[in-house]
């Protein structure tokens, strides 16, 4: 494996040692973990191109090469950008967590850092893998690790609820994404993203599976990146510790869907469906998130809906930029999306950490209890001022630059000559401008409600004071980057933004990217001035706005749909379970038998498989008639036997006669298996009945049921028809039985002459292994039951 492979696996390897390092109680576990993301970040810096175009790096390790599944690493501008964010922000988050989460005996720090490292490795796997199946594996690992981190304080009901919600929504989207990946494989014949892009660059988009694949992949991206209406999991995920929120829900996990859309833009970009779906969902998410943030009274909740809004902004830019394949006027949207992706990670990460500091030092995040912290926490106030000003889009910070480019992107989208944009294009700048107003409003709310006004110590759980330097260091670094990237944006232009943009639009992006503050008195500037003026006006009249019905409730109304759907799913599953699990073995056999009869009957009808041919039937010897009659007689006698022990012996007789038939038909392996199984089953049944306490007198009177008779006749008839059809097709010259394949390949492929054993061990090896696993689990359950000592009168 290459160094890049080890880079992806390094967090998982480190996670193995965390439980052992955790036992060193006098040193915070985070100090051991801190070195890993820092080393990975410094290593990735060497791939940043300086003065030259970036040359992608590809490394392949075969995994299941026969079906095209390989652990392929592909490092280009886009994956490098995300890898730097994952490791860079990860380093600051680990440093921040050392001082945020105390090293107490009752604090499971080993769990926290194992989950965090698992998430870090999974995210690196998502952005660096070139194989769709490998991406999916890492994709679902991010959902799992995220849920574990959200539920870190699992004693809180809200933490468990948020973890469950994030898991259900994102994993469901992941399943849909996997289906989309499979459709792409069917079309392109490869799981490699590079090969898929090359394939669709050479063919017309007339594949019948193209649109379904697109929709399924977008469903996975939208659920992961909290796009409307799947955004409802993100606010509840804020029950996680603040370092988790700063890492997962501002800089990394929620950007996974953004990455997926950007990565597949060369495949689906240039189509109207891709353009309109992504742009529409992005704009709706943008405005919904910004308006919803104004309703919140919890600082973390404000940032949660702010993140939703910002993700919608980036998604909308990627949608608009996808038109670049047909109209180069949209190129600025892709550049703006990449630039704002970086800026959002810096200012939002610092703000999440600041909110954690406020909560840590005051005991609350409720803006109704906060106020007047400017003089008490001056460093925290300064960091907040920088982050909030950048999020609001004010100069000279980096958020202002990417917001201006966003305005440029939506304005230029109105002039697109493709996809029938026409007069509908005017919607883009209008929605962007209104959403920006509400963005400015919730930025004012965060700033003034927290740091200005009257200090209210009686409402706080702690005496407010400035945070220690350990907590301040990470947000100071991020706030410094906000200022540096705002004053010197072009230090990112040729090193980060241009390579990432060329990964999305390899043949179209103008290699000359120049970002600067002053563009003269243009439309974008007037839009910004309007945002500030109207935002201040709305903030001044905020009480009137909050009297509206929509603003009376902090909780997103779409949660009712989720909660109602989940409750309906639970109640519905209970009804189905009660219908199925009656506790009667007879009912279970009825369900299984009816299903088999219907399935096999449909198969006969669907494939015209019913056939009869008695020309090649051999003669039946007299002793076979005798054996068969005995078998039939023993079978018919079972329902009329009055005692269970006798019935067990009768069933055993039937099994032994079947074994005798196998011997007659020269199948010694089957006969031996049948004899062993029947012997064990009969002996076990007899022993069980012998040792069970006698709860009542033996009165076993079988009842005649017409349902039993109909199902029994149906099962017998369907099995007989299968036997007749199999015999008829075996002698059909136009039909080659499947057994012929095993006859021909048992020796060449598996090295064995015993075809039955070869099928079980080699051709069905995985199936057999799983069967052994099931038996092992059942054995463990039996051992547990045997060892379980139940006190008299105790319910089990």
- Give the whole-angstrom CA distance, residue 72 versus residue 477: 34
pLDDT higher than 70, residue 234: yes
Structure tokens at 382: 């300064």
Chain centroid offset of residue 731 CA:
50
Q: What SS3 string covers 283-325?
A: HHHHHHHHHHHHCCCEHHHHHHHHHHHHHHHHHHHHHHHHHHH
In sequence order, what are the residues at sequence separation of 6 or more whose Cβ sits closer than 8 angstroms to the Cβ of residue 604?
610, 721, 725
pLDDT at 791: 46
pLDDT higher than 80, residue 788: no
Region 356-375: mean pLDDT is 92
Long-range contacts of 700-707 (CB under 8 A, 24+ apart): 700/642, 700/643, 700/644, 700/647, 701/642, 702/639, 702/640, 702/641, 704/639, 707/590
Q: Supply the mean pLDDT for the chain.
A: 88
Report residue 204's pLDDT band, with 50, 70 and 90 as the boundaries.
low
Q: Are 367 and 299 in contact (CB under 8 A)?
A: yes
- Give the whole-angstrom CA distance, residue 438 versus residue 538: 8
Report residue 552's pLDDT band, with 50, 70 and 90 as the boundaries.
low
Region 11-35: mean pLDDT is 93
Region 662-666: mean pLDDT is 85
pLDDT at 463: 86
Of the candidates 225, 70, 249, 59, the one whose C-alpha atom is nearest the C-alpha of residue 149 is 249
Structure tokens at 220: 């996975």
Q: Residue 69: enclosing H or E segment and its boundaries?
A: strand 69-75
- % of the chain exceeding 90 in pLDDT: 56
Cα distances from 615 to residues 610, 717, 725, 732, in angstroms, run: 16, 21, 13, 11
Q: Are 344 and 245 in contact (CB under 8 A)?
A: no
In sequence order, what are the residues at sequence separation of 6 or more whose Cβ sits closer than 8 angstroms to the Cβ of residue 342?
81, 85, 398, 485, 492, 496, 497
Region 732-750: mean pLDDT is 80
If one compares 242 and 753, the residue with the highest pLDDT of the two is 242
In eight-state DSSP terms, residue 761 is: I
pLDDT at 504: 92
Report residue 449's pLDDT band, with 50, 70 and 90 as the boundaries.
very high
H helix and E strand count, the chain? 31, 2
Of the candidates 365, 248, 226, the one whose C-alpha atom is nearest the C-alpha of residue 305 is 226
Torsion 468-471-474-475 (CA) sign: negative
pLDDT at 84: 96
Q: Are 485 and 342 in contact (CB under 8 A)?
A: yes
Backbone angles phi and psi of 349, in degrees to 5? -60, -45
Q: Residue 755: enclosing H or E segment and its boundaries?
A: helix 755-758
Domain ranges of the chain: 269-547, 584-760
Tokens 């992949």 map to which residue? 217
Residues in the chain: 796
pLDDT at 348: 94
pLDDT higher than 90, residue 37: yes
Region 397-413: mean pLDDT is 94
pLDDT higher than 50, residue 303: yes
Span 111-164, pLDDT tens digits:
999 999 999 999 999 999 999 999 999 999 999 999 999 999 888 899 999 999
pLDDT at 792: 46
If one compares 53 and 452, the residue with the highest pLDDT of the two is 452
Q: Are 196 and 268 in contact (CB under 8 A)?
A: no
- % of the chain exceeding 70 in pLDDT: 94
Cα distances from 120 to residues 73, 164, 187, 289, in angstroms, run: 16, 20, 32, 27
Report residue 545's pLDDT band, with 50, 70 and 90 as the boundaries.
confident
pLDDT higher than 90, residue 505: no
pLDDT at 639: 78
pLDDT at 796: 45
Torsion 389-393-395-397 (CA) sign: positive
- 597-616 exposure pattern, b = at least 16 Cβ within 10 A, e = fewer: beebeeebeeeeeebeeeee
pLDDT at 693: 63
Q: Are 224 and 261 in contact (CB under 8 A)?
A: no
Structure tokens at 251: 């800089």
pLDDT higher than 70, residue 703: no
Span 418-429, pLDDT tens digits:
888 878 889 999
pLDDT higher than 50, residue 325: yes
Report residue 684's pLDDT band, with 50, 70 and 90 as the boundaries.
confident
pLDDT at 511: 56
Q: Are 344 and 317 in contact (CB under 8 A)?
A: no
Pairing of strands 69-75, 57-64: antiparallel
Angle in degrees, CA 787, 792, 794, rounded to 5: 80
Q: Are 368 and 542 in contact (CB under 8 A)?
A: no
Of the candidates 4, 11, 162, the one whose C-alpha atom is nearest the C-alpha of residue 90 is 11
Structure tokens at 365: 């995040």
In eight-state DSSP terms, residue 232 is: G
Region 694-700: mean pLDDT is 53
pLDDT at 205: 59
Give the number of other Cβ atoms within 10 Å of residue 391's Cβ. Answer: 27
Least confident among 223-227, 479-483, 568-572, 722-726: 722-726
Span 457-497, pLDDT tens digits:
888 888 888 999 999 999 999 999 999 999 999 999 989 99
Q: Are 247 and 90 in contact (CB under 8 A)?
A: yes
- Give the whole-angstrom CA distance, residue 121 versus residue 277: 31
Q: What is the DSSP secondary-structure string of 399-434? A: HHHHHHHHHHHHHHHTT--STT-GGGGGHHHHHHHH
- Give the whole-angstrom CA distance, residue 438 versus residue 335: 24
pLDDT at 793: 47
């Amino acid at each position: 494996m290459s160094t890049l492979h080890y880079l992806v696996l390094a967090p998982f390897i480190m996670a193995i040692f965390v439980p052992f390092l955790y036992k060193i109680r006098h040193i915070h576990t985070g100090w051991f973990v801190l070195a890993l993301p820092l080393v990975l970040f410094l290593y990735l810096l060497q791939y940043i191109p300086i003065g030259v175009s970036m040359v992608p790096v590809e490394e392949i390790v075969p995994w299941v090469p026969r079906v095209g599944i390989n652990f392929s690493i592909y490092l280009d501008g886009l994956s490098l950008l995300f890898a730097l964010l994952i490791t860079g922000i990860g380093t600051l988050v680990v440093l921040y967590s050392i001082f945020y989460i105390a090293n107490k005996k009752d604090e499971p720090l080993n769990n926290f850092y194992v989950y965090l490292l698992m998430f870090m490795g999974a995210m690196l796997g998502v952005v660096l893998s070139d194989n769709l199946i490998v991406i999916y594996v890492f994709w679902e690992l991010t959902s799992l690790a995220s849920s574990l981190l959200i539920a870190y304080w699992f004693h809180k009901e809200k933490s468990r609820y948020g973890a469950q919600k994030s898991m259900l929504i994102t994993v469901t989207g992941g399943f849909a994404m996997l289906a989309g990946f499979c459709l792409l494989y069917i079309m392109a014949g490869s799981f490699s993203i590079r090969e898929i892009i090359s394939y669709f660059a050479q063919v017309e988009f007339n594949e019948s599976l193209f649109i379904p694949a697109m929709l399924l992949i977008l469903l996975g991206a939208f659920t992961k990146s909290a796009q409307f209406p799947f955004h409802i999991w993100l606010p509840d995920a804020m029950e996680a510790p603040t370092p988790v929120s700063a890492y997962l829900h501002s800089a990394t996990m929620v950007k996974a869907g953004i990455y997926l859309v950007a990565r597949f833009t060369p495949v689906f970009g240039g189509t109207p469906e891709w353009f309109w779906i992504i742009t529409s969902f992005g704009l709706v998410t943008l405005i919904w998130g910004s308006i919803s943030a104004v309703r919140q009274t919890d600082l973390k909740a404000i940032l949660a809906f702010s993140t939703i809004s910002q993700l919608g902004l980036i998604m909308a830019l990627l949608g608009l930029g996808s038109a670049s394949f047909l109209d180069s006027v949209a190129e600025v949207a892709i550049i703006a999306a990449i630039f704002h992706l970086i800026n959002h990670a810096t200012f939002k990460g610092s703000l999440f950490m600041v909110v954690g500091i406020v909560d840590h030092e005051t005991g609350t995040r409720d803006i109704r209890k906060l106020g007047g912290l400017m003089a008490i926490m001056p460093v925290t106030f300064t960091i907040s001022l920088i982050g909030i000003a950048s999020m609001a889009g004010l100069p000279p910070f980096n958020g202002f630059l990417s917001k201006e480019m966003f305005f440029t992107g939506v304005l230029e989208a109105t002039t697109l000559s493709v996809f029938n944009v026409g007069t509908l294009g005017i919607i883009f700048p209008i929605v962007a401008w209104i959403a920006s107003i509400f963005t400015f409003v919730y930025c004012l709310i965060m700033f003034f409600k927290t740091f200005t006004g009257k200090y209210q110590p009686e409402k706080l759980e702690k005496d407010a004071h400035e945070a220690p330097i350990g907590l301040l260091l990470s947000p100071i670094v991020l706030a410094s980057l906000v200022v540096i990237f705002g004053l010197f944006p072009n230090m990112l232009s040729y090193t980060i933004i241009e390579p990432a943009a060329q990964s999305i639009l390899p043949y179209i992006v103008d290699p000359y990217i120049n970002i600067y503050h002053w563009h003269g008195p243009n439309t974008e500037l007037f839009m910004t001035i309007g945002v500030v003026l109207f935002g201040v006006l709305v903030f001044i009249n905020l009480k009137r706005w909050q009297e509206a019905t929509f603003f009376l409730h902090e909780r997103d109304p779409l949660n009712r749909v989720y909660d109602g759907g989940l409750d309906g799913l639970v109640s519905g599953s209970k009804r189905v379970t009660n219908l199925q699990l009656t506790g009667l073995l007879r009912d279970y056999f009825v369900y299984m038998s009816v299903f088999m009869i219907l399935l096999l009957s449909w198969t006969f009808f669907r494939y015209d498989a019913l056939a009869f041919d008695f020309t090649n039937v051999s003669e039946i010897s007299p002793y076979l008639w005798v054996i068969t009659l005995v078998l039939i007689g023993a079978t018919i006698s079972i329902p009329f036997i009055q005692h269970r022990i006798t019935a067990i012996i009768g069933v055993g007789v039937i099994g032994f006669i079947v074994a005798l038939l196998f011997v007659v038909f020269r199948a010694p392996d089957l006969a031996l298996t049948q004899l062993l199984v029947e012997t064990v089953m009969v002996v076990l049944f007899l022993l069980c009945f012998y040792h069970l306490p006698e709860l009542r007198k033996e009165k076993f009177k079988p009842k005649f049921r017409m349902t039993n008779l109909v199902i029994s006749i149906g099962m017998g008839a369907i099995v007989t028809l299968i036997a007749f059809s199999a015999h008829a097709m075996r002698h059909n010259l136009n039909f080659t039985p499947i057994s012929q394949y095993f006859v021909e390949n048992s020796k060449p492929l598996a090295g064995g002459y015993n075809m039955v054993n070869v099928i079980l061990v080699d051709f069905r090896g995985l199936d057999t292994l799983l069967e052994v696993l099931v038996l092992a689990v059942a054995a463990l359950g039996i051992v547990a039951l045997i060892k379980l000592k139940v006190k008299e009168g105790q319910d089990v």
